[in-house]
């Protein structure tokens, strides 16, 4: 039976980390909220009094009777099933730990344009966004990318992967993070990127994997835009 | 062999969620960074070129050869070992999902006093903090506590626990969240709290559990203070 993915249509958002895993694995899935009546179906699963285990927010995944939310948790669930994570417990938790750290920087990337409240427009927090983005570029991007660079460098399985000797969902997610940062902060990343060659190399290799490359060219890949997590607002891209 | 917990001394912070699990289970553990030379030892584990799996940040846990970071991931690891999580996969992931949602609101609570940058003093982002805290109280606390209230209400195992019929690490963490919110936002929580009676009831019951109560009275429990995640700044407590 096909997996059912529920996520806001129109943006890559956090759903994209799940999509990339499903696509790389060639798994059968339905992107429910992008179909007719899909957003209403998604809302029903969140609000429905029937659900004993309601998700707090999208994305969530339905696999038969199992309903599972929180991006990193979904990937923990899918990892073994899709062959995108190690089987042994310590390695599995290590992959999950890396994914949670990617989730942290994704949250921070979101907050560069919404430092005050998700419920307000960007325009109503533009000044605060400028300050927060400045710190994100100066301190947080280098700290996080430096960390992943170090993880790649030290991976006993070789510096082409974050975990072990094979592509895991962490590699796919790091690609997505780098793609998002390059989109949102092109000037800053042009300056900072070369300092993290292993991270950049991994992102480029993931993008070139046959199934990922086919997906990125397909209409299933929503383009980056200014409603998602990674937004290109030139005034937030440093140097101003 | 005793577990080794590594976390900043002087604050409860994210380490507290792990401490509560260890304390409730009566597990043997060493709070390494609170002992002599402990912070240096913690730093060595993060920076040491030897570590193939370096943590990005505290807290992390050492269990023999296993070094594991990210609060929710540590609890995922400890949950089964300490008897504080269900064994069956779907229930285990459900507990983890709730923990990740608690982690999300904890992050947001932190950002009420640091909406611009962790690297800046509170005093340098006080105005922004006032705006962000206003939204947190008006929108986010009710949304999150309303969610946990609903989860308790719908739990097939009964509304005294988040998951199943027994105390899990999620219950302990929800207690800590509520305790933190009550500390940081006493006026707002006096107003909002009664709207979430199941959540408040759970927090009070957890605080009264013999081992938790003994821990809370002990010197091992660091008091809330204005260096931690939950800070009492009256100007952020609504109504101003």
- Domain CATH number, residue A179: 1.20.1050.10
- What's the domain count of chain B? 2
* Least confident stretch, B23-37, B41-55, B81-95, B100-114: B41-55
Contact A117 B96 (CB under 8 A): no
β-pair type (B3-6, B60-63): antiparallel
Q: What is the pLDDT of residues A8-36, one digit of tens each?
A: 999 999 999 999 999 999 999 999 999 99
Residue of B51, B62, B73, B129 to mutate, testing the A interface (most A Cβ within 10 Å of its Cβ): B73
For residues B74 and B94, membership in a common domain is answered with no
Residue at which a domain ends, from B26, B54, B81? B81
For residues A108 and A182, membership in a common domain is answered with yes
Instruction: Tell me the chain A residues in contact with residue B90 when contact means C-beta distances shorter than 8 Å.
Output: 66, 68
Q: Which of A24, A28, A40, A20 is nearest to A4 (CA)?
A: A28
Distance CA A141, CA A115 (A): 16
For residues B101 and B76, membership in a common domain is answered with no
Q: Please give the residue that has the higher pLDDT: either A3 or A65.
A: A3
For residues B231 and B154, membership in a common domain is answered with yes
Contact A131 B135 (CB under 8 A): no
Nearest CB to A115; choose among B66, B93, B116: B116
Measure the N-to-C terminal CA separation of chain A; round to a whole number of Å.
51
Instruction: Flag whether A201 is in a domain.
Output: yes
Instruction: Tell me the chain B residues in contact with residue A147 when contact means C-beta distances shorter than 8 Å.
Output: 54, 56
pLDDT attached to residue A47: 81
What mean pLDDT value characterizes chain B?
96
Residue A240 has pLDDT above 70, yes or no: no
pLDDT attached to residue A93: 97
Contact A97 B52 (CB under 8 A): no
For residues A132 and A157, membership in a common domain is answered with yes
Instruction: Tell me the chain B residues in contact with residue A116 when contact means C-beta distances shorter than 8 Å.
Output: 115, 128, 131-132, 135
For residues A56 and A149, membership in a common domain is answered with no
Q: What is the ipTM, given to two decimal places?
A: 0.97
Q: What is the pLDDT of residues B179-235, one digit of tens each?
A: 999 999 999 999 999 999 999 999 999 999 999 999 999 999 999 999 999 999 999
Contact B147 A56 (CB under 8 A): yes
Residues 6 or more apart whose Cβ sits within 8 Å of residue B18: B5, B7, B59, B61, B71, B74, B75, B78
Rounded alpha-carbon distances, angstroms, from residue B137 to A74, A129, B32, B122, B166: 29, 21, 35, 18, 31
For residues A138 and A210, membership in a common domain is answered with yes
Rounded alpha-carbon distances, angstroms, from residue A38 to A4, A60, A139: 11, 13, 40
Q: How far is B93 from chain A (nearest CA, A)?
A: 7
Contact A70 B117 (CB under 8 A): no
For residues B119 and B172, membership in a common domain is answered with yes
Mean pLDDT, residues A79-87 taken together: 97
Residue of B112, B117, B157 to mutate, testing the A interface (most A Cβ within 10 Å of its Cβ): B117
Residue A46 has pLDDT above 90, yes or no: no
Instruction: Flag whether A47 is in a domain.
Output: yes
Contact A116 B116 (CB under 8 A): no
Q: What is the pLDDT of residues A86-127, one digit of tens each?
A: 999 999 999 999 999 999 999 999 999 999 999 999 999 999
For residues B165 and B230, membership in a common domain is answered with yes
Q: How far is B179 from chain A (nearest CA, A)?
A: 21
Tokens in use for B125?
A: 């982002």
Residue A133 has pLDDT above 80, yes or no: yes
Contact A135 B116 (CB under 8 A): yes
User: What Rg do the C-alpha atoms of chain B give, in angstroms?
Assistant: 18
Contact A54 B154 (CB under 8 A): yes
Residue A51 has pLDDT above 80, yes or no: no
Residue A183 has pLDDT above 50, yes or no: yes
For residues A73 and A98, membership in a common domain is answered with no
Distance CA B177, CA A214 (A): 44
Residue contacts between A and B (CB atoms, under 8 Å):
109
Mean pLDDT, residues A183-198 taken together: 98
Which residue range is the domain that position B30 belongs to? Answer: 3-81
Instruction: Flag whether A134 is in a domain.
Output: yes
pTM of the prediction?
0.97
Length of chain B: 240
pLDDT attached to residue B240: 44
For residues A58 and A101, membership in a common domain is answered with no
Residue of A59, A68, A73 to mutate, testing the B interface (most B Cβ within 10 Å of its Cβ): A73
pLDDT attached to residue A239: 57
Residue at which a domain ends, from B13, B48, B81? B81
Residue A180 has pLDDT above 80, yes or no: yes
- Domain CATH number, residue B57: 3.40.30.10
**Cis ω before A59 (30° cut-off from 0):** yes
Contact A154 B115 (CB under 8 A): no
Instruction: Flag whether A9 is in a domain.
Output: yes
For residues A23 and A135, membership in a common domain is answered with no
Residue at which a domain ends, from B38, B60, B81? B81
Q: What is the pLDDT of residues B20-77, one digit of tens each?
A: 999 999 999 999 999 999 999 999 988 866 678 999 999 999 999 999 999 999 999 9
């Amino acid at each position: 039976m096909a997996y059912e993915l529920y996520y806001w249509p129109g943006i890559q958002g956090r759903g994209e980390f799940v999509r990339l895993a499903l696509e790389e694995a060639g798994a059968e899935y339905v992107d429910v909220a992008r179909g007719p009546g899909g957003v209403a179906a998604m809302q029903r699963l969140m609000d429905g009094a029937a659900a004993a285990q309601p998700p707090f927010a999208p994305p969530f995944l339905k696999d038969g009777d199992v309903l599972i939310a929180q991006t990193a948790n979904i990937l923990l669930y899918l990892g073994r099933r899709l062959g995108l994570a190690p089987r042994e417990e310590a390695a599995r938790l290590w992959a999950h730990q890396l994914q949670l750290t990617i989730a942290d920087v994704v949250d921070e990337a979101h907050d560069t344009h919404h430092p005050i409240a998700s419920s307000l427009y960007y325009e109503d927090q533009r000044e605060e966004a400028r300050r927060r983005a400045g710190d994100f570029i100066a301190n947080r991007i280098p700290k996080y990318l430096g960390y992943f660079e170090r993880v790649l460098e030290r991976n006993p399985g070789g510096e082409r992967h974050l975990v072990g000797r094979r592509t895991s969902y962490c590699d796919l997610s790091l690609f997505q993070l780098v793609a998002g940062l390059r989109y949102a902060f092109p000037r800053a990343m042009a300056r900072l990127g070369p300092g993290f060659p292993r991270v950049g190399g991994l992102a480029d290799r993931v993008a070139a994997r046959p199934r990922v490359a086919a997906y990125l060219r397909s209409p299933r890949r929503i383009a980056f835009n200014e409603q998602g997590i990674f937004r290109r607002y030139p005034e937030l891209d440093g140097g101003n």
